[in-house]
A = this chain, B = another copy of it.
Amino acid sequence: MDTSLQDFMNGSNVLFLIWGAVLVFSMHAGFAFLEAGSVRKRSVVNAFTRIVTDWAATAIVYFFIGFPIAYGINFLGSAAEISSAQGFDLAHFFFLMAFAAVIPAVISGGIAERAKFYPYMIASAILIGTVYPFFESMVWGQLGTLGGADGFLAATFGAPFHDFAGSVVVHAVAGWIALPAILLLGPRLLRYREGKSTPLPVSSVPYIALGSWFLMIGWFGFNIASAVTLDAMSGLVAVNSLLAMVGGILVANFISKRDAVFIHNGALAGLVAICAGSDIVHPISALVIGGIGGAVFVKGFLYANEKWQIDDVLGVWPLHGLVGVWGGISAGIFGVTSMGGLGGVSLASQIIGTAAGAGIAFAGSYLIFGVIKRLAGLRLTPQEEQIGPDLIVHRSRAYPEQEMV
């Protein structure tokens, strides 16, 4: 192959990754609006600010620490050295950094309206530099213990842990990291009164819809570009993502009787569920996987927030934690050839890999949020919370003109 063709192919592969990375970056706009719409007006500015600064903090920590831990590649050499093959490694870093940034965005949705600004940001940053890349390394990276072709699980059960686009590595881990943060923080004031659930109204259904649209759109970059190079590109991943999303929408619609917020979240549940197996299951299986994902979310949300009285504002633990677990396992069920899948997957590996992810995430997060809580406190005072984080943390309101005379 002559050089110019090689350059062209490298460039195309870089474009593929960057196309994906930009879409995953755009999901962050989605996290921002999903949270802004789901909280009360007093917490809207805070939602936007946290999402964008967390992205920034993640980029730095993952650049210097997370990516090197996970893949053994660092970018401390000169610009010429680190950008060989048209900067493919850098592009890959960008794509995976955008995955890592899901972690603080998910936590943010759970702890909204009552958390302090910096303690939460520091805890998130520590997790991005430790727990997250450690597990990533075991599945996708240099360790390969769980996901490597000759890692422990592959050797034991005949197939490694398969998590194509991160149902577990990203979503389950994010959800199970968020849970301790939510528990350690406790519910918002007046969320439960004398043991009774008294829901706090969301501020804007249109913002929730906008957030979901950004997430739905960007998710196709998330899943499809997980192929990393164009010769591994697959239309199957795209259609599986599509149909899983569709399954989530329809099931959420039916079991919630046309509840707009549940439906828009149901789409996301379908997408969380399909990440792991999107490259190996049949589209009809994807529809089922996504549909079950939608149901797991709706039911999980009601159990968590109503019954167990965990004030998980956006339902991030059911959405990413529970549905992510379902995604990891479902790849083992539907990925086998007898179910019309492409095979090369083992249910045992899936269960173990998934459990490991959830367990490590929960434990690591409990430790780090626990320590930070002790050292600095995680929560605003009740008076501050009553006034709201926008005025307290940012000295501003979401709609200044309306609020002024």
Contacts and interface: CB of A to CB of B under 8 A. Distances in A.
B23 A23 contact: no
Interface stretch (A138-146, A213-221, A323-331): A213-221
A394 B63 contact: no
A122 B230 CA distance: 39
Contacts of A53: 249-250, 253, 263
A366 interface: no
A239 interface: yes
B205 A400 contact: yes
A83 B238 contact: no
A135 interface: no
A182 B21 CA distance: 37
Contact of A15 (B41, B91, B230): B230
A56 B246 contact: yes
A280 B205 CA distance: 43
A117 interface: yes
Count copies of this chain in the complex: 3
Contacts of A257: 395
B5 A217 contact: no
A207 interface: yes
Interface in A8-32: 8-12, 14-19, 21-23, 25-26, 28-29, 32
Interface in A181-223: 201-207, 209-210, 212-214, 216-217, 220-221
19 contacts: A11-B232, A15-B230, A18-B220, A29-B217, A36-B206, A49-B260, A49-B263, A55-B246, A56-B246, A59-B242, A59-B243, A59-B246, A75-B239, A80-B342, A90-B238, A90-B283, A203-B401, A203-B402, A205-B400
Interface of A: 1, 4-5, 7-12, 14-19, 21-23, 25-26, 28-29, 32-33, 36, 40-41, 44-45, 48-49, 52-53, 55-57, 59-60, 63, 75, 78-80, 82-83, 86-94, 97, 117, 201-207, 209-210, 212-214, 216-217, 220-221, 224, 227, 229-239, 242-243, 245-246, 249-250, 253, 257-261, 263-264, 267, 280-283, 287, 337, 340-342, 393-402, 404
Given A18-B224, A60-B287, A210-B210, 9 more contacts: A28-B213, A32-B209, A33-B210, A41-B401, A55-B246, A59-B242, A78-B337, A94-B242, A203-B399
